[in-house]
Each structure stands twice: as structure tokens, then as C-alpha cells.
Structure 1
Amino acid sequence: MPEADRLTFAKMTGDTSKEARETLLAAHPHVIALTPELLHYQLRTTWRLEGWQAFFHDLRYVLIDECHTYRGVFGANMALLLKRLKLVVDRYGGNAEALQFIFLSATCGNPTQLAQMLSGRKQRDSPKRLVWLKQSGAATAAKRLLVTQPSHHTSADVARIMLYLMQQGLRGITFCNSRHAVKSAVELVTKEANLQQRADLANRVAVFYGSLDDQRRSQIMRQLEAGEIDWIVGTEALEAGIDLPVVDCAILRGFPGSLTDFWQRVGRAGRKRQGLAIYVPVAQNLLDGYFTNRDRLFGTIESIHFNPNYPILLAKHLLCAASEGSLSLTEIQQAFGKVSLPVAKVLIERGHLHNSRKGLYSKGFPQGDINFRGGVGMGTTKLVEQATGKVLESTSDEIAYREVFPGAIYRRQDDDGQLATYRSLSLDTTQRVATLQRTAVDDLLTSAVLRLDAQCDQPLTPPKQVAVQPLTIWEIAGSLSTTQVELSTFSPESKECQWLTLELGFGSFRQVVEGYQRFMRLYQRTCLNRKCSHYRTPLPNTTTCLLCGKPTREAELLTLLDEERFPEPYVTQHHTPILTLSLSDGLIQSLQQIAGTAKAILGMQETILKDYQVLWNYPAEYIALHSLGHQIMTALPMVVRTDSHDLEFVVQPDGSGSCGLFFDTADGGNGATEAVFNHFTQLCQTAANLAHQCDCETGCPRCLIQHGCPDRNQGLLKQMGLILLEAIAPSSHSEVSPLP
């Protein structure tokens, strides 16, 4: 383009200084690229920055990439931010009604609905304003997807696959679901490369995760593009928004929790030429094995849901909008809808919104009270090297408490690409600084001993009792197609009244790091036959197991050395609504009798069915409550506009039994827990219908298993949950489909 007509482009991040931003704005850029958080904070200071005022006056297009990531609280905050953006555009002479919103995503189950929710525009009001471009005209290279058998030694298998592909001259990305898995895979690549006498390959692998600074992340990208490294091992930070044509392969270590995220990761491979994606399921993860099925992998992509009208979130953004410029109640209603008026009036009554001649305004910096992407709002801990005083990384307090507690062994990749081992000397929680010392010892591993608990501190509602129908055994007995036992409806002998009590309150969910375990690590040949008594026993210099005759293989072997408890545990917590579910004594007795009867039926078989072993390992009330909680979470998006990621569920001891607790995953709440309380009976009925329609026998990710379960999906049985669901709200066995 002629120089005089060329578009000018400005990129801003949180690391862009105030002076640099002003310089960029002075050039009157046609396009500004920034994160939602930067815009969120920038709106507060627009009134005194002429450059931003001019930009918003001329603003015409709002382009939102990777819009499938805006789910749950993140999506609600984004939708509310766009409402504030419209107010600012109008305030400085622009035309918010004429703004054109452009949303992009390769993986979204409800794109038109998501566009409406984010933009705040409804298609029924202006049907011609929304256009869905369903097909892409861009040339795309073919991709091949390989799915391996579930692996019991995932990191070692992934390391070998990476080395093999690198030896073929290919370049790629390996996705892991945790920082620990990232570091484990890279360490095993190094060890395996040394065994194969190809140490040069290990030096061409880089680690990538969120706590690396922007400079290091940019350096890794440049090195990959320049051919200085061949492979990146990272977390979801690499999932979207990165276009690397040089990448041939993508390895997925484990299922990421949703098909949306799965296909985003697969999409990193083969941008310009034929790509290869390899999915390596983790054998211990039920979700991973479930999605080895072709039809499930190529099934319907999940829909995106969020609730921008939750009063707490809405109140926070109303205060932000009022700090960005005075507003009338009429303007508030026009921008945020009728639901905002009662919230605004409460803020006025409580002295958070103030009246002036120009309208309502708020004081202070309310933008700082919003954790934009949800989760737990916490500070940042710096990891400082003792010898040099250099800040190696910065990470959240929650991760710091788990990984750099005093005595912890911490591994990271230095800027030169070499893996380095550090020992944490101290963790100052007041100054938020962890002091690390470089060490030559690399055969030790530490693992935090932690527990999760929730505690309700302030009741919000009186306890509500839900009557329970007499329980029956038919849900379990009827599903045992392998048995010849016919059992009529079983009525427990207990004559105690049976009910389930719901109590909604406000409290805290805590991660408590009580101490740590120290392990010795060896990378040696061993027998990996799980049925052999030499399984994972060191067998150095042995190519064949003497007991079972299977070939031996190098693997990481861990030996527990000791365990240490801290005088004072390290605690992170967030405050949130909590819904407590407790069972009456009579109901617990009935569940115990049902479980006992089911065990008697199963015991008649020559072989106890493996999937029912949970009945022998956990109390009946624990299984029933845990299963019911997961089943309700599965049904949640089909009843209310809430994402299942907004909600968590745990089972805790409660006197002589157990109680279940739902709580929001966002600090301050997001409305999911209250939705369960308000729609409990309907959710139970929908969950029962979903479980009946699912063709699995004892529970699967479609009807029961939840990604990220704090209890690791242990103690679950579809039928025990169904017994409670049916007793609370008998299902109609009708078809259940997502909300339109």
C-alpha cells in the first residue's frame, strides 16, 4: 500500500509502560490490539487521556478472537466490559449502536448465541444484524490424528515419541495439563536422549508455561521460528492465539477436559503443511480413556454459557462504569438491562453509588476488585535466586504454596535451555518472595501434602428440607445384565423419616498445604508388567525380567524417603456461596441397606464386577452424595445459563456421616451455587433423565465423571446417584437437550 495510506497498528500488554502507550496513541493507530484486562483498567483513566478519547470517538470495529475461551465468569466479565465500552464510546462522541462486533472461533458449539450474549444484541430485535460465516475459504493442510492405548507411564512414553519425531526432522508442541507434567516430560526427554546418546536433541526442547515472563516466552517463539529449537512442551498457555507455521506435530499428554480445548491443541499442528497430532491418554484418568473412542472425539463441540446478570458481578461492573463517567439510572438500564436497576438501587442505599449534578458516580478504583478470568483472586509470589537476587519467575500464591515451600525441590529451564534444580530456602508470605538456591542434586523430588476443605460461615437462607421417596434397589439390580438374579422393588427396613437438607450460606474454600513428602528418583530399567511382582522394581543392566520374561524398559522410579509437616500450614482461600447437602439418619441407613443388598447380589457372581468395586471401598452415603453432585453439575448448563466450570463439589465428613458441598469457583461467587439451590428439584430430574439416556453401565464423562474433580473421581457409581435423584424427583425418561 502507498505509505500515506498504510494502516498503523499498536500492540499493548500489561508490560507496556504508560509512556509507551501514550507514544503509540500519539501516532493515531487504526488498530489497537490488547487484552480484555488492559481495556478493563484503561477505561478508568480515559477521562484524562486525549489519545484514548480520540480513539473511542472513531471506534468502528471490535474484533474478539478465540471467543470460545469466554465461558463462565470470564465470559460474563467480557460481556459486561463490552457494555461499559459502549458507554465510553458514546460519552466521547462515538456511536456505540453502529459498532460492528466480529467474533472468531474454530471450536464453539453455539456460535450465534455466544455472539449475541457477548455483544449484548439480540437477533430477534435485529435479525439482519447477525451474520454467521460458517465456512472458511482459507487453505488448510490435512491432518492425521493418532490415538495411542492409555499409558501407565505417560511422561516417559511422550518423551520417547518426541525424540523419535525429532529424529525424523519434525518440529512440534507437546501439551500437558499441569506444570508438573511439563517439567516431568522435559526431564525424561533429557534422560532418554542421554541414553540414546543424542543429548543434542534434548537441548532443542523448550519449556513454556504461564509464570515465564513475556521476554522469555517471546524468546522461545523466536527460537522456534528461527530453527534454534525444535520442540516446545507447555500448558494451555500455548492452546490458542499462536500461529506457528513451522510446527508439524502436536502431542496431547492426556485429555484437556473438553473437546473445545482438544481440537484447539490439535489445530496447532500443520498450519502450512500436513500435520500430525498424537493423543496419549493417561491410563489413570477416566476421562482420557473415554475419549479414545473415535465417535466421541468427533462428537458435538461443547456450548459456551455464562451469566452476566449475576448481581455480584453486575454490581462490580456498575461501580466500574460509574467510576469511568457519571451515569443516570436511565443510562444504566439502557446499557445493562432492567435487571441492573434493583442492583443499582441497592448500591445507592449502601453508599457505594453517589449522586451529583451530573449523575451517579463511584469513588476509588473498583476495577481492582474484579478477578477478570475468574478463579481465586490472589497475589503474585516472586521466585528469587539467592546468589544473584534475580527474579527467576513470578507465580500465583496458590502455586507457590504448592511448589516452593521451604525445602521444596524446584526445577526450571534456564534461558540457555538447560534444566536447573533449585532448593527453596524460604517462603515469605508477607513479602511474597520465595528464595531459591541452585543445587547439583537432581535425584530428589518433593510433593506437597495438601487438603481441600470448604466451610460455611454465614447462613443466607433457613435450612430447606427436601422430602425423599422410599428408596429402591432397582436402579442397581436392573443394570446388572450379567446376573440371573431378579429382584423386586426393595424397601429398606428403616422407618426413620427420610429427607435431604439444603442450606445456602457464604463461606470459604481453602487449599491447605500441611507439609511435604520427599522422594528419591531413579531413571532405570524395570519391569513394566503390572501383573509381575518385579513391577517398577529397579532391574539395572537387565534387558528381560527374570520372573515374567517381558522386556525391561527405562522408567522413572520413586522411593519415599520421609515426610515433614509445617508448624503452620500455608493456606489460600476464596470466599464464595456454599450450598450444603446433608442426609437424614434414616436416609443414610436406607442407602447403607441398599448398598449391602447390592453387594450381596454381586457376591453371587463368580467374579465381582470391577466397576462395582467402589461399593466395597467407600461408605454408601459418600458414593450416593458424590455421584449426585457430579450428576447435577452435568445437568446444570441444560437448566440455567451457567457453565459447569463455574461450580465445584466436594464431600466432607459430617459427624457420623458425610455432607456434600457445592461452591462457586470464583472469588465472591458467580451465581452457580445459588442456581443449584433455586432449581434443585428440576436439576435432579434433568440429571436423572441424562443418566437414563446414557448407555454406559456405571458412569462415564457424559453423565458422571467431571474433569478436575478434587476427589479425583473416586467413590462414584451412577446407580447410587440415580437412587437419590429418582427419590427426590422421579425422572420422566424424556429426551433432554441443551437450551436453545
Structure 2
Amino acid sequence: MSAEGPIEEATTPQAGKRVLSAEELLASISREMNVSQGEQIVHVEVLADRQAQYADPEPPLPLPLQRALDGLGVSRLYTHQVEALRRVRDGEDIVVVTSTSSGKTLCYNLPIMERILGDRSTRAIYIYPINALVNDQLKGLFRINLALGKEAVGIARYTGALTNDKRKETRARSPHIWLTNPEMLHLSFLLWHPNWEEVWRNLRFIVVDEIHTYRGVFGTNMAHLFRRMLRVAEYYGSAPQFICCSATIANPQELAEKLTGRRFAVVDRDGSGRGRRYFALWNPPLLRDDGSNLRRSYAEEAVDLLLHCLRADYNTILFARARRLTERMLRLSRSLTEERGESHLLERISSYRAGYLAEEREDIESKLKSGEIKGIITTNALELGIDIGGLDAAIISGYPGTIMSTWQQAGRAGRRGRDALIFLVASQNPLDQYYMQHPQQFFSQPHELAVVDLDNQVIRLKHVLCSARELPFQPAELARMPSELRSLIEELRTAGLLVPRRREDGTEELVCAASDRDVHLRTSLRSASQETYHILDENHNEVGTIEPPNVFREAHPGAIYQHGGDDYRVTYLDHQRKLVRVREEHVPHYTRASSSLKVRVKHIYESRRLVLGVVPFEVALGDVLVEEVIHGYQELKLGTEEMVKRVNLDYPLTIRLHTMAMWLTLPAALGELLGKDPAEPGQQNAEGKAEAQGSPFAAGLHAVQH
């Protein structure tokens, strides 16, 4: 037995049919896809198997909890689970960094449930970056609760999907463990903290799962959010511990400490076992032997690999780099299975991405776990730790842009104790092709740093106002603050955004100005926009949802919107009511938006002149305006890419983003030498990436940004 449950057995469509080993399947695919001639396999890295290491907690877990684990098939714990339990018992804040399917959830569920069984006043908040993880982990806790029987603990989710009545009912039950997302923390737990007094007074644990996703702008917002949580907790007299879980990144301890302002211990000695993994770097074959280096579509190549894996009865996940690609790949895979008369595969392939309705996503997740769906085509929406059952193969269609994401996606393959097969299928992108030429560099490349910028004044300002809206700034608190933060608060006071209010003892406190009472609603944690467009068919049924900027690129008038294998033509885009009107239209085509991109420098904070070799260039930091104009679209035949028509939009759509940027200015002579003006704005393709085929210089610059 593993520390997460019994080892899964392979399922076969026919009794007695032997499932090929990963090594045998790779050899079979090589023969059937004519690798000896096309030379698609550049390199195969064999990642060694690892034996599981177990330990026993001392003192042992409470008897009801141990019996519950036994009932779930968990007879022993991995060494990292026991280490996490020990450190939490000792009062440490910890960050757990172990592989996918290594049982990280028990690293926080066990110590928290142990505490609740000993003290029923204990409260914990579990924070997940997406609702799908909330729902998934809720099911896992329910299973433990069923095994606990009469000793069960109170559990509830609190997300925007609940009605107001359901939220009130849930709060009235006062569960021990709350599963939620950053937005609900921001807009409910913190903004309306008096409604949550019992939780705040008894808050003993804050669990932050998938902590590696909290980087960049999102991470910076979360760092301020966690500080606001600790401020409110202190107000109510509690001092919660943090238990964080992360995928493998270069700096897990630094990230956790920057996000929370606390000291962390790292639990990273992974005790879970795994089978061997065969990781193949796969370069699609050349279409012509004329030196053009034009290769077969990586999307088509990835779909072929998916179908080969499914025919071998391998549960397979295929990662695509964009939402639209998932739908095109789904249509292509179903078309190919229909042509071959493989009806048994037709309904066992599905897509999964943002924009699907919640009930659609839950249905797909359930069918994946049950084995009803064996092939899933997804964006990075399934890169996170949602439990979708055992997977035997992972196909990464195009380099995801970071080593961290690559290994996170690759880690999805590998049922406990079984070998797995992984493919990285290269696109024409120069960075993909570089790794195809230098495989050892790819496999030795370190994981990236997860960066959080606490000095971003724009983000900090918003959270200072949110803090003042939640609890007034008292004189004693102001006196303890760093001088830089006090200066910012004084500037806000001078600007009238914070105003003094006389207290009963005669001293002043600072509160949020009446004009900024809605500051929480105006503060987005993830992006510049919180808008969601609803997609409605001719009968006013909701098809799905979409947000900016994707709504402009994928749901402009005339676009073919693809959803779960169904095709719709966009008839109207209503910005005022945030609606996309569509009609069902079955046509073997897809559309690709045509756009132009300009970056305008608004203000330069600092610049330096540097020399690399003999090439002088300038590096600058400043404020910029990024402007993308969708001016038309191309309609193409699926599979052949043959142009059907090119259409100009009557009213071009403009996407604007004001942001801070760092940029390089290269000498014009360098671009002219390579046949491209560095200042020339780039054209955009369907996924919003610079087209590289006609511009090696622009393609090289695109690779540099990674």
C-alpha cells in the first residue's frame, strides 16, 4: 500500500490483453510513425525508478485517524509525510516540495485533523488557486470523514459558485476546515471579517496549496493578501501556522518567506516511490528536404502520438499551449478516429480548459477518474494537482516556456509503481528547436526562480487601502511600521485617500476615505480585468465563459468558437452586457485572428548602455503601453491549413495594457544585417505569439525573452 492509497491496476478494454511496457510502446510508435526515416526521436532520457521510503510517526497518530487511514488503504506513511507532521507538531511553518502524486495533501490534513480531534475549537483555512482544486480536495476530505465516522470533522467549501443563501447556511454550521480561493478571502473573509469572528479567533492553520503559482503580479498581490490575513488574525488574538505545498522550483523557501513574511522550514526529501519514466524529445519530420527547416505541424504530430497511446490502452494527457489548440486537437483526433472506424476511441477523448462551465469540468474530471475518458487534451488547467486518476503517458505539445511547467506537466504521467512515457513535441519556435539540438542542456537545466516584487508601489497602495478598509490604522501600529510604509501612508493621507478619525481616548486612527469604500471590488488579484463574458447560443443557453483578452482574439464577430468538439459561429460581441452571441455551425474550419502589436514607452525610470561581445545595446526600465489591435481574421481548413477566406473586421478590437517593463534596444544595423528592422512591430498569430517563419531575427528575440 502507498501512503495515498492502494496501487492502481491497469485496465484493459479486452480481458487478457497484455498492456505494452513504456519501452515497448515507444518502440512500437517508432515503427508505426517511421522514425527511422523521419528521425523524430532526438533523444530519450530514462529517469530511474525510486523505491518508496516509509516511517512511523512518534508519537503515533490518534487511533480514530489511524483507523481512518487504514480504511482508505494507507497502511504506512512516507518519510516526508512523517517529517511534515513532526515539524507542524513543533509549531514550525513549513513548505513541502515533493513530486506529483507523492501524497502532499496528507502533509497538512494529518496534523490539522489531529489537532481538531484534540481541540474542537480549532479552525483552518485551505487556500487553492482555482475552484477545481477546492472541489477536488473537498472530495478527499469527505472520504477521510466517512472513514472517521462519528469522529468526523466539519468541512465546507466557500467559493463564488455558492448562492448567498448557501453561504449563510454554511457559515451557520461553523465547520472546522474552510476550503476557499484567494478572491473569497479578499472579498469575504477579510472585507467582512466581523461575520467570521469565530474563524479568526480560533484560526490555527493556513494551508496554501500550489504555492509555486503565486508569482509575478498574482504572487505580489497574494503576498500583501497574506499579510492582511495575519493582521486580521492578530486583531482577533490568533497566530496561525502556515503549511504550504509546492511543485519543484528553485527557491521554495524564499518564495514562502516572501509571500508571508515568516521563516519556513523546507520538507523536500521525497519518500514516495515511482516507476521508470521514458522522456522522449520528439521533433516533427521535415516536410521538404530543401533547407527550409519547415516541419510538420507539432499539433498534428502530438495528436498522432495521443492516438497511438490510446490504442495501446494508455491513459494519456496531452498538454496544449493555448485554449484554441485544445479544441482543434480534439476535432482532429475525433476526425482521425472516425476515418479509421475506431468508434471505441471516439467518445473516450475529451478536452479540458478554462471557459468550460463548472458542471462540465466536474463531469470530465469524474470520467477521467473512472476510466470512461482515457485521453484528455488540456491547457495548463490540469497542470495543477487535481486528482484525475492514474495516467500512463503525458504529451507536451510545444515547450511550455519554463522548465518548471515542463516538469510539472511531465509529472502527471506515472501511476504509482508503474513506468511512464513522456513526449515533448517541438514546435517551430526557435527555443523548442534549440532544445532539440541540445538535449543534455534541456535535461540539466535548473528550475526557474519564482519571483515576487514586494516593492511594486501600485499593488502595495491598493492593499494598504484594503487594510485600512478592514481595520483602521492605529497609532501604535503606525509606529511599528517600516519608514517606507509610513511614508506611503502619509502620502495617501495627504491625497485624501486615508482620513483621520478621532478615537474615544483622544488619539487619531486612519480609515479609508468614504469615496474608496469599494476598494476591494476594484482590486483584482490576478489581472488587469475581472470581467467575464458569457457565451450564449440562439436559444439563450449558456455555452461557456471567456475573459479578456481571449474574448477579443477568439470570440470576435465571425470567429469560429469551438467548445468540447462543438462548433459555433460568433454573431455578435456585446461589450456593454458582456455577452458573446453564437449560433451552432458545423464546418471543418477554424479561424485565426490577425493582429498587430505596438509597445509605446511612456516613462523611463533608468537605463544603462552595455556591450555583449562587440554588440552595444541599451537596457531600460520604465512604464509602457502595450496595444494589440485585432483587425481581422483568417478562416482555414482544419488539417490542411488551406486558406478559405480572409476577413477584415468592420470595427477593429483594441486591447490596451499599461504596465512596467524592462526592454533591450538593439542597434538598427544588427537588424538590417539579419534582414529585419528591430523597431518594426510584429504580426500576431492565433495564440498571440510572434510569427517566426519569415523573420529569424524576430524569432531569435522571442527565444531570448524566455
Taking structure 1 as the reference length, the TM-score comes to 0.66
SS at match of 2:332: helix
- The alignment status of 1:367 with 2:501, answered yes or no, reads no
C-alpha distance in 2 between matches for 1:348 and 1:39: 26
- 1:452 counterpart letter in structure 2: L
C-alpha offsets along residues 529-566 of structure 1, whole Å, 9 cap, x if unaligned? xxxxxxxxxxxxxxxxxxxxxxxxxxx21222332222
- The one-letter amino acid of 2:257's match is Q
Describe the shift of the 1:191–1:141 C-alpha distance in structure 2 as closer, same or farther (beyond 3 A): same
Residue 640 of structure 2 corresponds to residue 557 of structure 1: yes
Structure 2 partner of 1:446 = 591
> What is the distance in 1 between the residues matched to 2:203 and 2:701?
56
Instruction: Give the SS at the match of 1:366.
Output: coil
Structure-2 residue corresponding to 1:541: none
Q: Equivalent residue of 2:500, what SS? A: strand
1:383 corresponds to which of 535, 545, 550 = 535
- Equivalent positions of 1:237-276 (< 5 A) are 237-276=381-420
Partner of 1:236: 380
Evaluate the alpha carbon distance shift between residue 257 and residue 708 of structure 1 in structure 2; reply closer, same or farther with a 3 A threshold.
farther
Per-residue deviation at 1:427?
A: 1.2
Question: 1:390 offset after TM fit, Å?
Answer: 0.5
1:402 paired to 2:536:
no
> CA shift at 1:59, angstroms?
0.7
Separation (CA, whole Å) in 2 of partners of 1:720 and 1:220: 39
SS in 2 for 1:274: coil
User: CA offset at residue 567 of structure 1?
Assistant: 2.6
**Matches of 2:476 and 2:656, distance apart in 1:** 38
1:12 aligns with 2:153: no
Q: Is 2:474 aligned against 1:328? A: yes
Q: For residues 467 and 71 of structure 1, do their structure 2 counterparts lie closer, same or farther at Cα, with a shift above 3 Å needed?
A: closer
8 Å contact kept, 1:150–1:289: no
Aligned position for 1:342: 487
On the 8 A contact 1:155/1:188 being kept in 2, the answer is no
The match for 1:529 is none
Match of 2:226 in 1: 82
Q: Is the 8 A contact 1:244 1:268 kept in 2?
A: no
Q: Give the letter aligned to residue 462 of structure 2.
A: K
Q: Distance in 1 between matches of 2:699 and 2:582?
A: 47
Tell me: CA distance 1:106–1:55, structure 2 relative to 1, closer, same or farther (3 Å).
same
Distance 1:330 1:277 in 2: 59
Q: Paired residue for 2:16?
A: none
Structure of greater relative contact order (alpha carbons < 8 Å, 6+ residues apart)? 2
Alignment partner, residue 636 of structure 2: 519
Q: Deviations over 1:382-408 (max 9, x none)?
A: 11101x211101101321211122221
C-alpha distance in 1, partners of 2:378/2:552?
A: 21
Tell me, which stretches of 5 or more residues in structure 2 are unaligned? 1-63, 65-147, 286-295, 504-508
Q: Is the 8 A contact 2:534 2:546 kept in 1?
A: yes
- Counterpart residue number, 2:5: none
CA distance in 2, matches of 1:514, 1:319: 39
1:317: Cα distance to partner?
A: 0.5
User: Counterpart amino acid of 2:164?
Assistant: K
Partner of 1:116: 257
Measure, in 2, the Cα distance between the counterparts of 1:44 and 1:158: 45
- C-alpha distance in 2, partners of 1:453/1:77? 27
Matches within 5 A, 1:137-176: 137-150=271-284, 152-176=296-320
SS in structure 2 opposite 1:41?
helix
State the shift of 1:3 in Å: 4.4
Q: Output one character per residue of 1:282-339: Cα deviation in whole Å (capped at 9) or x when no partner.
A: 34012223334144224311111111222111111111111111122542575x7443
Identity %, equivalent residues: 24
The answer for the alignment partner of 1:568 in structure 2 is 651
Which residue identity does 2:443 align to in structure 1? L
What is the number of residues matched between the two proteins?
Answer: 531
Are 1:296 and 2:442 matched, yes or no? Answer: yes
For 1:360, give the aligned amino acid: L
Measured in 1, the distance between the counterparts of 2:305 and 2:700 equals 40
Deviation at 1:218, TM superposition (A): 0.6
Matched-pair contact (CA < 8 Å) for 1:453–1:509:
yes
Q: CA deviation at 1:507?
A: 5.1
Change (3 A) 1:409 1:262: same
The alpha carbon displacement at 1:15 in A equals 0.8
List runs of 5+ in structure 1 lacking aligned partners: 124-129, 414-418, 477-497, 522-555, 597-614, 623-650, 659-706, 722-740
TM-score (norm 2): 0.69
The one-character-per-residue Cα deviations of 1:713-740 (angstroms, maximum 9, x if unpaired) are: 955499999xxxxxxxxxxxxxxxxxxx
Q: Deviations over 1:568-602 (max 9, x none)?
A: 2111212224678778xxx75xx36xx88xxxxxx
2:174 pairs with one of 28, 35, 47: 28
CA contact (8 A) 1:252 1:265 kept: yes
Code of the residue aligned with 2:655 in structure 1: it is: T
- Decide which of 573, 576, 582 is 1:430's aligned counterpart: 576
Question: Which residue does 1:353 correspond to in 2?
Answer: 498
Residue type at the aligned position of 1:264: Q
On the 8 A contact 2:395/2:425 being kept in 1, the answer is: no
Change (3 A) 1:499 1:446: closer
Q: Secondary structure at the match of 1:135?
A: coil
Q: Does 1:43 align with 2:194?
A: no
Corresponding residue of 1:72: 216
1:6 deviates by: 2.5
In 2, distance between residues paired with 1:426 and 1:507?
Answer: 32
CA distance in 1, matches of 2:352, 2:700: 42
Cα separation, 1, equivalents of 2:201 and 2:308: 55
Contact 2:621 2:660 survives alignment (8 Å): no
Moved more, 200-209 or 560-569: 560-569
Q: What letter corresponds to residue 589 of structure 2 in structure 1? A: L
